[in-house]
């Protein structure tokens, strides 16, 4: 397993950023002779962290290396702070552009990864689950599949916030800075529902979506809203739930289900 962390200058983030990677490019043939995933060219999975996390979470708490070696994936883990992977107007705050375009182009060039949509996937947990959905729908020609775990689908909650309000995670000022005008956020491009509906109305290809959430997760009801929206709009999707809270025990189980589903769905 070729693995490590590198640093490069990100124009989208306006400074040096870290990327962690696990790439099974050096695996001896005899070790994977019976693994059908190594009968095909390597594919790529971009993994997004949650709120307060960073590019190393999926290595130290997650199962990035096992995903790479099980499914013949170049697993690329990025960091974007607590910014919900959304673009803002200020210079150096283009986090969606970073996740969906810049880092994809950079890693494809650096590691010689496939530039095919059907070989490129995006996944994340919590804030990163929101980011995977939003980024995958904002760059539908780049990503062939989306995996969203325990996603922080809080757009409607943020849309109802007023100055002086907030929640257990952050205050109103944080949400208004990250999402923009809260009175307009539900109808804005920060809302994955808006992106999905636009693609559907324009007759464009939409990546298949896998969603999972624990039945005891504090974001369970938020995920039901998105689930219903996708089902009502005839999405190519799979939804799963099971006992679990907002933790790595749940994510490390369902990430396998999600990755396997998108791989089989895309082919």
Q: Give per-residue pLDDT as tens, 176-224.
A: 999 999 999 999 999 999 999 999 999 999 999 999 999 999 999 999 9
pLDDT band at residue 94, thresholds of 50, 70 and 90?
Answer: very high
Q: 10 Å Cβ neighbour count for 175?
A: 22
Quick one: tokens of 143? 């990503």
Contact status, residue 21 vs residue 74, Cβ threshold 8 Å = yes
135-159: per-residue pLDDT in tens?
Answer: 999 999 999 999 999 999 999 999 9
Residue 135 has what DSSP assignment? H
Q: What's the predicted TM-score (pTM) here?
A: 0.97
Distance CA 165, CA 45 (A): 37
pLDDT(27) > 90 = no
In which residue are the tokens 């010689």 written? 112
Give the per-residue pLDDT at 43. 99
pLDDT(85) > 90 = yes
* Domain of residue 209, CATH code: 3.40.50.1820
In which residue are the tokens 């464009």 written? 204
pLDDT band at residue 21, thresholds of 50, 70 and 90?
Answer: very high
Distance CA 154, CA 191 (A): 9
* Overall domain count for the chain: 1
246-263: per-residue pLDDT in tens?
Answer: 999 999 999 999 999 999
Q: Sheet of 237-242: strands edge to edge?
A: 2-10, 15-23, 73-78, 43-48, 120-125, 145-149, 209-214, 237-242
Give the per-residue pLDDT at 122. 99
pLDDT band at residue 120, thresholds of 50, 70 and 90?
Answer: very high
Give the per-residue pLDDT at 267. 84
Quick one: tokens of 114? 């496939």
Mean pLDDT for all residues in the chain: 97
What is the residue range of 209's domain? 2-266
Helices (H), 144-191: 155-159, 172-179
Worst-scoring range by mean pLDDT, 7-21, 60-74, 162-176?
Answer: 162-176
Nearest to 59 by CA among 192, 220, 252: 252
pLDDT(9) > 90 = yes
Contact status, residue 3 vs residue 21, Cβ threshold 8 Å = yes
Distance CA 145, CA 66 (A): 19
Rg (CA), the chain: 18
Distance CA 5, CA 179 (A): 30
pLDDT band at residue 242, thresholds of 50, 70 and 90?
Answer: very high
Give the per-residue pLDDT at 190. 98
Counts for the chain of helices (H) and strands (E), in that order: 10, 8
């Amino acid at each position: 397993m070729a693995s490590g962390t590198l640093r490069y200058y990100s124009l989208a983030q306006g400074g040096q950023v870290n990327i962690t990677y696990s790439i099974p490019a050096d695996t001896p043939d005899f070790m994977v002779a019976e693994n059908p995933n190594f009968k095909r060219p390597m594919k790529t999975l971009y993994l997004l962290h949650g709120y307060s996390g960073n590019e190393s979470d999926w290595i130290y708490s997650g199962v990035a290396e096992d995903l790479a070696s099980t499914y013949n994936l170049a697993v690329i883990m990025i960091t974007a702070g607590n910014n919900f992977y959304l673009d803002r107007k200020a210079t150096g705050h283009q986090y969606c552009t970073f996740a969906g375009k810049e880092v994809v182009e950079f890693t494809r060039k650096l590691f010689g990864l496939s530039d095919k949509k059907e070989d490129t996937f995006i996944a994340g947990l919590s804030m990163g689950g929101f980011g995977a959905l939003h980024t995958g729908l904002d760059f539908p020609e780049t990503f062939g599949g989306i995996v969203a775990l325990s996603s922080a689908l809080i757009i409607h909650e943020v849309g109802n916030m007023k100055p002086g309000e907030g929640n257990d995670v952050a205050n109103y000022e944080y949400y208004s800075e990250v999402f923009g005008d809260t009175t307009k956020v539900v109808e804005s491009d920060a809302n994955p529902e808006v992106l999905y509906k636009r693609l559907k109305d324009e007759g464009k290809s939409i990546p298949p979506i896998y969603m999972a959430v624990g039945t005891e997760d504090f974001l369970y009801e938020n995920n039901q809203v998105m689930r219903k929206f996708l089902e009502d709009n005839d999405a190519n999707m799979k939804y799963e739930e099971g006992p679990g809270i907002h933790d790595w025990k749940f994510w490390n189980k369902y990430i396998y289900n999600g990755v396997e589903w998108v791989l089989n769905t895309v082919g």
